[in-house]
Structure 1
């Protein structure tokens, strides 16, 4: 069959004289056309990379400028710098402290202080304390989160770039972070969130790089990015406990990935179950075991550095405290003997066990009848009415014997000569808890003998362990009813002199039932217990210390439930309904108010809803037999943008389950994810995807004829359409950045703390629930 004539001047005619063309007509032209197509594709890719690198460089420079601009202002302590600056100082002094957050970010601050030669002499006691007067290298401390915050913008861009998005989409996502006042404000101060957000962003970036190597499993690069993902996750959780949400994000993606590997019909072909087991084990090692070991490592550093006694001692058990040098227990604790006079103090509220010659009223406000017995209360100050004598159940034969763990005792109030008692009468505030009162010595050893017996139960104590002042944290358990002596901070009415209620708690497990003996006030001067043998610092295994600290962190974190004037609810965050006042200066009318860029937040929140709507509409269309999206677009929408939406959801919705105080800064990781979704949807809406190498190969066909005739015209049309779409994406990008820049500039005085604003200027910025200062 004769060939169609070739047009004059075509590639086929120009190659007619070649040897290869003569021997095999039609082979060389297709090969050369393929080379030209690949060369054009490589040029397109190179040009795209050049654009990406230029945009990334510009974005990074602007990120550093916006974070470092005026970072020395104000030159005094701002908001939570009182906590995290103080912790850095404690690290440098090696003084033990307690915080509900893991140590990684705080160690970074301490390392920065060590680099600049700071000795930790300033303890950041009060907001407004001068850094200049106290000679604190505060700019160096603030430079750390500023660097991390600037890098977060770059990482956001890289996430989009690695996911295959166009330059406008990448700029939109990174630009919303670049120009966001909340991200800027949080990363210019000595706070933890810059570390948290960067670690979260890195975990997404590294996992994407790992996932892109799914066709090269167990290669060196594959392992590298898997381990780096685990390391980023560990840094995230080692900064704040909410870093666990990033594990949920990555873990969900890993589960989906493993589920796909099990599919026998998957495009890459089925893998054997042993091979699947290797994949599962590799991910378990890289994303669970290694991150946990990294997490433990930071606590090991924490314990190694903090070797001296400090303000965190009271949060820990006596056994833990005795591992610290200069601890008061090593110097002052002594054995408690029967017939000693002692003062007993509540570990949590620091109230003394107290009694006085006053009685409970006949009826309480709710109509319940009391025993009208002598009041037993908690009193905050040292007083002779806090003195109790510890008595054995038997006679004087026990005098001089050491009290031990699990001993049964009575407590006599010395001033009123009454004995402590609990019985089945409801307490003033807690109808379910037992009343504590006191009865005469005659009744205590007569008809009320059983009700005056209490067990000394030392926390984590061993049988026959000696009961000591200061060192022995204990629960006083009422022997017949098995309730624990407990108190709380709500004051009694006037009849109780506004002192704390003491009652019997039926739930004896909580640590809020713990007390300690503070002193033995009437100890004779010649008592041999005054003689203090030289004591050595004790040691505990790392895991015992770690488990104890984890329990304390979890307990006290959950207790952060009191109201705060700037606390906010999760449903308020996506709409930016209120912020937080960080700092004010009355003389200059300057203030730092933590709030995001409203235009950026509202756009990102709107596009989150748009994404959900698009997915819902696509699913309904598919059910009705309408396939409106091509394969590549749907894959990008579900797998890439969907991954970003998953990151937002896993960093947002869990906060609805928390009962602790919550603030706007808790939304920052979720906000970063929402900006990624916004960038992805900009590309979807304008269909501005760049043509990649794989798509080019699919479109160039499998034989010379289609390559020579049809595909070339098809690619040209596609490129023309892509150019039009890209133009639309660029216009949308520039409009979004212009609006975001306007919002950033408008709220700039509140973010940077200067210049001071007039009443009229403040009122113009008093949007929604923004409770700004100097508004009148």
Structure 2
């Protein structure tokens, strides 16, 4: 090996003058080319994000959540969500700018925006603007790190023409804000790195501080933003390790200044901004609302009563009420029809009166005696002037048929592990049927200590679990599967043995027989009691993490991280059964697969370099190794930090969780493409083979554009496709509508 070493060193030491052509190759490209390249990328981004942005004019996928939250902000009624408030406040701010009042609540996918006078285009424009801005930010990141126009353009176009990024940038969602914040973080830290050797200068402080601001935007949008913190944290630790070396000439005092500058700018300052958005959140949402029931009584007392609270009444014995399920918003109902003696699967039922849950117009339901229930006490001394409290035992008399709600040890129609609910007409005291018609009402507010709390029951506000005393099951309904024709397509009502599940919660909705002279009709405003901001914030943080960890149920479009890098599957966002149109969320397969190839090539290059150096064979020059390990290594670590942690998460996971990693991989891909088109050998003339780089950039970009247009009808949902055309696009593990 010594001869090899001598040979390599000799070639490396050769003082050959570079040719004129080589000098031209190494020269930095003129500034106008960068501007031209960035303008091209921006033009494509505007086209892909703004084309047909008003279509569809109906609620799409998670717009039901984030549009609804914007409406709550505009009405200032408190709601609960798992995500921090920054991006949601931006959406609400856009609604405020256009003068929207927030009356529409985005209840269901396919609800019509036009008939409800919703400024949905303004909301979507906010996402589109952020999606467009992301592209030049990526371009400038690559330029800042010294990459060519071709590499900068290629990186930005991977995201520009990615179908998943496009869809997320055209709808009322949080992902456009998240992805832009991640891109800004990478850009600001790249700019900061260019001033590394000029510490504590004004520009050094500006870009360090802006990195912290960008990080605060990431973590204030979604908590997965902590992965961006990990990325920057690793880079900062590497840099501090560099400065700790005594050869750099820093005293420990100087080093501590570097440490404290980064600690304040990247942790303390971003945390203050993060808290600020929660302060705004609590300040805006000062009225009682749908999120009250998640919070403590002290928190609720800090809110001004909403119109919902004004309509809330104390419930007394012998009141006739409607009972509403919190999750599905269906009303408890019964009618004279019976369960069939034998179900389709051969199981036997009690063949007694059906108890179901129904949805519909509230006024019609309030007038329907089959959806009305009278609260009957179990003790004769109770009167209609006595209020009901949680933990009381009651009977529920069905007004329409005069029977009593009952549950017993018979399997329910759709859930064989649950108990059947039915109606009994047995009035005999302490008979078997009497005992089976007793229900205890439990307070269902979050917290282990609340279930035994004795609290006066009010309509609309007090969440309840209705527990069957005899068999200890909780009354439950669901809308994922409806009863067949014999059950009129209603929701099944059954007894759930898992009594603490959040889906078991009901409300006493409205008192039907409340007279005008009843003193309960007189509204007495409650006294608002202040609660310290940090105490509110801490309570909300605990609940957000608690409920986030509970998102473990299966979902038909959930996917595991191993399927993401190759875009193997996606999510059905919207479908139009009349015109056979659909929006299916998936990535640009060409771009996704190219990124995986580049990531694999990088791992191969690192392995080859390490093995060759173990044998003292020096192949790459120092500049190339710095590019490979430092710049590209930073992007690679960023991709790993945004991808691999999802393998450890037990919650539901979807393809959109991969988009920040995809964005960083796009930066990485442009950099590695230039690297492989550069003469990196220790014995060669350094320089980029621009013809090769331009050719590969053009070929790969044409592939991106071709897939984008091929899949465009399903990304925009504007063109109905024939079943044969749908099947052509049903590649990998995608499950598209209208393929038959």
SS in 1 for 2:732: coil
Please tell me whether the aligned partners of residues 186 and 193 of structure 1 are also in contact (alpha carbons under 8 angstroms). Answer: yes
Cα distance in 2, alignment partners of residues 333 and 42 from structure 1: 84
1:673 aligns with 2:637: no
Question: Is 1:247–2:229 an aligned residue pair?
Answer: yes
Q: CA deviation at 1:463?
A: 7.9
SS at match of 1:768: coil
Aligned runs of 1:701-712 on 2, under 5 Å? none
The answer on 1:286 being equivalent to 2:265 is yes
CA distance in 1, matches of 2:417, 2:58: 46
Distance between the aligned counterparts of 1:599 and 1:70, measured in 2?
A: 22
1:750 Cα deviation from its structure 2 partner: 4.1
Matched-pair contact (CA < 8 Å) for 2:560–2:653 = yes
Distance 2:699 2:459 in 1: 70
- Do the aligned partners of 2:53 and 2:170 also contact (CA within 8 Å) in 1? no
1:576 alignment partner, one of 551, 567, 577: 567
Q: What do the CA deviations read for 1:441-482 (whole angstroms, capped 9, x no partner)?
A: 998699x99x9896955747698765545444456789999x
2 CA distance for matches of 1:141 and 1:71? 14
Q: 1:499 to 1:114 in 2, by over 3 A?
A: closer
| Superposition deviation, residue 359 in structure 1 | 13
Distance 1:455 1:287, change over 3 A: same
Q: CA deviation at 1:131?
A: 5.5
Matched, 1:598 2:589: yes
Q: Specify whether residues 417 and 396 from structure 1 end up closer, same or farther in structure 2 by C-alpha distance, changes over 3 A only.
A: farther
Please tell me whether the aligned partners of residues 310 and 523 of structure 2 are also in contact (alpha carbons under 8 angstroms). no
Q: Go from structure 1 to structure 2 and tell me whether the alpha carbon gap of 1:492 and 1:136 turns closer, same or farther (over 3 Å shift).
A: closer
Is the 8 Å Cα contact of residues 338 and 402 (structure 1) preserved in structure 2?
Answer: yes
Count matched residues. Answer: 695
Q: Could you tell me how far apart the structure 1 residues matched to 2:498 and 2:100 are?
A: 48
In 1, distance between residues paired with 2:168 and 2:483? 43
2:35 maps to 1:54 = yes
State the secondary structure of the residue aligned to 2:136.
helix
Alignment partner, residue 736 of structure 1: 700
Deviation at 1:294, TM superposition (A): 2.2
Shift in alpha-carbon separation, 1:538–1:504, aligned structure 2, 3 A:
farther
Aligned to 2:15: none
CA contact (8 A) 2:45 2:135 kept: no
How far is the alpha carbon of 1:759 from its aligned partner? 6.2
- Post-superposition offset of 1:320: 5.4
Answering whether residue 626 of structure 2 is matched by residue 635 of structure 1, we say: yes
Match of 2:394 in 1: 411
Secondary structure of 2:689's counterpart equals helix
Match of 1:555 in 2: 547
Tell me how far 1:748 sits from its aligned partner.
Answer: 4.1
The alignment status of 1:332 with 2:319, answered yes or no, reads no
- 1:709 aligned residue: none
1:646 matched to 2:637 = yes
Give SS of 1:651's match. Answer: helix
Given the superposition, is the C-alpha separation of residues 289 and 627 from structure 1 closer, same or farther in structure 2, using an over 3 Å criterion?
same
Give structure 2 stretches of 5+ with no counterpart: 1-17, 360-364
After TM superposition, list the pairs within 5 Å mapping 1:77-92 onto structure 2.
Answer: 77=58, 79-80=60-61, 81-92=63-74
Q: Measure the CA separation in 2 of the matches of 1:110 and 1:195.
A: 13
Structure 2 CA distance for aligned equivalents of residues 759 and 480 of structure 1: 54
C-alpha change, 1:95 and 1:492, in structure 2 (3 Å) is closer
Deviates more, 1:627-636 or 1:230-239: 627-636
Structure 1 residue 603: Cα displacement: 1.0
In structure 2, what is the Cα distance between the partners aligned to 1:499 and 1:746? 43
Paired with 1:761 and 1:452, the residues of 2 have a C-alpha distance of 58
Residue pairs, 1:467-486, within 5 angstroms: 467-473=457-463, 485=474
C-alpha distance in structure 1 between counterparts of 2:58 and 2:670, whole Å: 37
- Structure showing greater radius of gyration is 1
Residue 689 of structure 2 aligns with which residue? 725
Instruction: Please report the RMSD computed on the Cα atoms of aligned residues, expressed in angstroms.
Output: 5.3
Change (3 A) 1:689 1:387: farther
Comparing 195-204 with 531-540, greater Cα deviation is found at 531-540
SS in structure 2 at match of 1:628? coil
- Show CA shifts across 1:548-598 (max 9, x none): 55425852684473433x544432222223444555668877654444332
* 1:222 is aligned to 2:204: yes
Change (3 A) 1:553 1:327: farther
The answer as to whether partners of 1:55 and 1:167 remain within 8 angstroms in 2 is no
TM-score by length of 1: 0.72
Judge conservation of contact 1:592–1:751 (CA < 8 Å) in 2: yes
Superimposed CA distance per residue, residues 644-674 of structure 1 (whole angstroms, 9 cap, x where no aligned partner):
1122122222333445554433322111111
Separation in 2, partners of 1:753, 1:499? 34
Secondary structure of 2:248's aligned partner: coil
Q: Is this contact kept in 2: 1:321–1:329, CA < 8 A?
A: no
Q: C-alpha separation between the residues in 2 aligned to 1:218 and 1:480? A: 73
TM-score of the two chains, using structure 2 as the length reference: 0.75
* Post-superposition offset of 1:197: 0.8
Cα gap change, 1:122 to 1:226, in 2 (>3 Å): same
Aligned counterparts of 2:338 and 2:706: Cα–Cα separation in 1: 67
Cα deviation code 1:248-288 (max 9, x no counterpart)? 222333344444444xx46424542x555554444333333
Displacement of 1:604 after TM fit?
1.0
- Kindly tell me: are residues 143 and 470 of structure 1, through their superposed partners in 2, closer, same or farther at Cα, counting changes over 3 Å? closer
Show the counterpart of 1:32. Answer: none
The 1:156/1:514 distance shift into structure 2, 3 A limit, reads: same
Find the partner of 1:502 among 485, 490, 495: 495
Does structure 2 conserve the Cα–Cα contact (< 8 Å) formed by 1:52 and 1:161?
no
CA distance in 2, matches of 1:295, 1:355: 50
TM-aligned CA distance change 1:434 to 1:229, over 3 Å: farther
Q: Which residue of 2 aligns with 1:10?
A: none
Map of 2:279 onto structure 1: 300
Q: Would the aligned equivalents of 1:60 and 1:151 in 2 still touch at CA under 8 Å?
A: no
2: CA distance, partners of 1:544 / 1:477 = 33
Q: For each residue in 1:121-146, what CA deviation from the matched residue of structure 2 results, as whole angstroms up to 9, or x when unmatched? A: 65556656666666655444333222
Q: 1:626–1:189: structure 2 CA closer, same or farther, 3 Å change rule?
A: same
Cα distance between partner residues in 2 of 1:71 and 1:258: 48
Q: What is the CA-CA distance between 1:222 and the residue it aligns to?
A: 3.2
| SS class of match (1:652) | helix
What whole-Å deviation, never above 9, does each CA across 1:328-347 have from its counterpart, x for those lacking one?
2333322x567878776654
- For 1:19-98, what aligned pairs fall within 5 Å after superposition? 47-48=28-29, 50=31, 53-67=34-48, 70-72=51-53, 74=55, 76-77=57-58, 79-80=60-61, 81-98=63-80
Structure 1 pair 434/638, CA: closer, same or farther in 2 (3 Å)? farther
Aligned with residue 168 of structure 1, among 132, 140, 150: 150
Distance in 1, Cα, partners of 2:574 & 2:119? 19
Report if aligned partners of 1:585, 1:591 keep a CA contact under 8 Å in 2: yes
> Gaps (5+ residues) in structure 1?
1-36, 691-713
Partner secondary structure for residue 501 of structure 1: strand
Q: 1:181 offset after TM fit, Å? A: 3.1
Residue pair 2:53, 2:125 contacting (<8 A) in 1 also:
no
**1:200 pairs with 2:191:** no
Change (3 A) 1:427 1:627: farther
In structure 2, how many angstroms separate the alpha carbons of the residues matched to 1:545 and 1:670?
33
* Aligned partners of 2:26 and 2:687 also within 8 Å: no
1:101 Cα shift? 3.5
CA distance in structure 1 between the aligned counterparts of 2:639 and 2:206, rounded to whole angstroms: 26
CA contact 1:333–1:469 (8 Å) conserved in 2: yes
Check whether the contact 1:318–1:471 (CA below 8 A) recurs between aligned residues.
no
Inter-CA distance 612–356: structure 2 relative to 1 (3 Å threshold): same
Which range is displaced more, 165-174 or 432-441? Answer: 432-441
C-alpha distance in structure 2 between counterparts of 1:432 and 1:761, whole Å = 43
Task: Answer with 515-524 or 177-186: which moved more.
Answer: 515-524
Partner of 2:139: 157
